[in-house]
Structure 1
Amino acid sequence: MESSLKATIELFVKRLMSRSALTDKEVSALLELRGSPKVYRSHSDLVRRGDLLEHSCLVVDGLVGRFGQNGEGERQISGLYIAGDMADLPSVVSPAAGWGIGSLSQTTILRIPHVQLRHLASQYPGIAEAFWRDCVADGSIFSEWVVNVGRRDSLSRLAHLFCEMAVRSERAGLGDRTFFRLPITQIDLADATGLTGVHVNRILKKLREASIANFRSGEVTIQDWDQLVSVGDFDPAFLLFGGPSPRITEPTGSSMKNVPQPAPAA
């Protein structure tokens, strides 16, 4: 277990570095993160709306979904998280949960105390910036999910979701664009795309019969990536994987050095 937890923290740091430039000292500090692991059965609540949180959930294995819920208990999944993703990093600065987070398969979570994350952010402005940028990326993905459910047809919705998870799995080293694990049921796919389970089954059949993609037993095999991208109207720009962005803070820690200061009051 200890080795898998270490590997997960390394994967989280790799995720941060895909969008943010970090110094060796900052990386070393992040690798010292520690937390308490907890295993959740499939379709268990990790976070309920309104919970006051003292830790953030780093996914060790399995699949996690963020969701909203109407008054009748029906859920709309609005984001998926794989190993190396911190599913609720924004809770560090907004600990009262405004959403639910649940396991979509048996899942292991490393619960990292907010106090640790806040300490790192206060000691290393570059890490604070990386956390900030990671939250921006999460918001960008959420925005694309709104477009997906609201403006794409049913075939495009599912194709787009498969494209997104293929790219993210590939970047995390958990698969590639031809094959990756997605331990999710057809009902959960319906909740993620705003469709019914019956409709999802029909769409999966269309993708399979067209030799574009096949979903079976929690695994996605993509036979024709270019066609899947076309059908899904997929542009990966929203994932913000364009490489590390220029730092706002100075690597030396002199974070205010090049920040314009306000002019004196008249």
Structure 2
Amino acid sequence: MDARTAALTLFLNRVAGRSQLSDQERAAILNLPGEVTLVEPNRDLVSMGEIVDRTCLVADGLMARFGETRDGSRQISALYIPGDMPDLYSYVLPRSSWALTALTKTTTVRVLHSAIHDIVERYPAVGRAFWRDCTLDGAITAEWILNIGRRNARSRVAHLLCEMAARYERIGKLEGMSFPFPINQTHLADALGLTAIHINRTLAALRKAEIVSIGGRMVKVMDWNALRSAADFDPLYLQFDSNPVSALL
């Protein structure tokens, strides 16, 4: 399976998990045309204020949405894994008020807005499914605001790890309670409103408590119940369907 097909299959699974789609509508999504693009680590794919004519679908790697102050400080407001379409909303709002960057070497599929327009016009149910997917992005953003604004460092880190474990499990990349997390401590600090030193100390404490360990670009959850308790994690905001895999929920 090529990168475009693999990415669209993951994306279809994502939207079909929350929307009922016919075989014809599913096939239309899988047949969306797209250009496969490789983005090097720490390179921006979409700049703030840029007017875009295509959306980005993550095929492999890890991307982030971020804002930036005048002095160059960045705040990561979302992480995107394979199967996510970070800027699907750009179809109706093409000037980007946020930016997208690759945290690792990332393979993306760029889908023209014209192709999105065509499928939405032909299949209204697909348009509603895409709209619903955008609301999920908003729900995750709201939870991130709560995480940064009201939780302490330990809970912030634990909550992000719980979320990523649940999302990676959803795409079949949670193995033995381990999942890929190719992100450095500086990126974590930018996502959680903490310093890199504070992130290092918090991860060390979680590891010492035998709750979670991070190494080799992987996270291993040793005690899911303890991690979930530390995070006060409720996956409701992720809007999973009524039959989630029981490994995490």
Contact kept? 1:64, 1:81, Cα under 8 Å? yes
Residue matched to 1:228: 227
SS in 1 for 2:8: helix
* Greater than 4 Å deviation, 4+ residue runs: none
**Where does 1:98-247 land on structure 2 (aligned, <5 Å)?**
98-176=97-175, 178-243=177-242
Q: Write the distance in 2 (CA, Å) between the matches of 1:177 and 1:53.
A: 40
1:176 CA displacement: 4.8
Q: 1:106 to 1:186 in 2, by over 3 A?
A: same
Distance in 1 between residues matched to 2:5 and 2:36, nearest whole Å? 11
Instruction: Quote the Cα distance in structure 1 between the aligned partners of 2:116 and 2:189.
Output: 34
Distance in 2 of aligned mates of 1:89 and 1:243: 24
Q: In structure 2, how many angstroms separate the alpha carbons of the residues matched to 1:211 and 1:243?
A: 31
Q: Does 1:76 align with 2:75?
A: yes
Q: Which runs of 5+ in 1 are unaligned?
A: 245-266
| Aligned-residue offset at 1:173 | 1.1
Query: Is the 2:210–2:223 Cα contact (8 Å) retained in structure 1?
Result: yes
Q: Which residue of 2 aligns with 1:57?
A: 56
Deviation at 1:217, TM superposition (A): 2.6
TM-superposed CA distance for 1:238, in Å, is: 0.5
Name the residue aligned to 1:66.
65
Query: Which string of whole-angstrom CA distances, capped at 9 and with x for unpartnered residues, describes residues 167-224 of structure 1?
Result: 0000111225711001111100000100000000000000100000011132100000
Tell me the residue number matched to 1:89: 88
* 5+ residue gaps, structure 2: 244-249
Q: CA deviation at 1:88?
A: 0.6
**Letter paired with 1:197:** A
How much has 1:242 moved relative to structure 2? 2.9
SS in 2 for 1:77: strand
Q: Is the 8 A contact 1:12 1:85 kept in 2?
A: yes
CA distance in 2, matches of 1:231, 1:160: 8
C-alpha RMSD over aligned residues? 1.2
Per the normalisation by structure 2, the TM-score is: 0.95
**Equivalent AA in structure 1 for residue 7 of structure 2:** T
TM-score by length of 1: 0.89
> How many Å separate the matches in 2 of 1:243 and 1:24?
21
Deviation at 1:118, TM superposition (A): 1.0
Give 2:171's aligned amino acid.
Answer: A
State the identity %. Answer: 44
Corresponding residue number in structure 1 for 2:246: none
Task: Report the number of matched residues.
Answer: 243
15 and 177 in structure 1: CA distance in 2 versus 1, 3 angstrom threshold = farther
- Matched residue type, 1:142: T
Deviation at 1:20, TM superposition (A): 0.8
> 2:214 & 2:16 partners in 1: Cα distance?
31
Q: Which residue of 2 aligns with 1:252?
A: none
**2:176, 2:103 → 1: CA distance?**
22
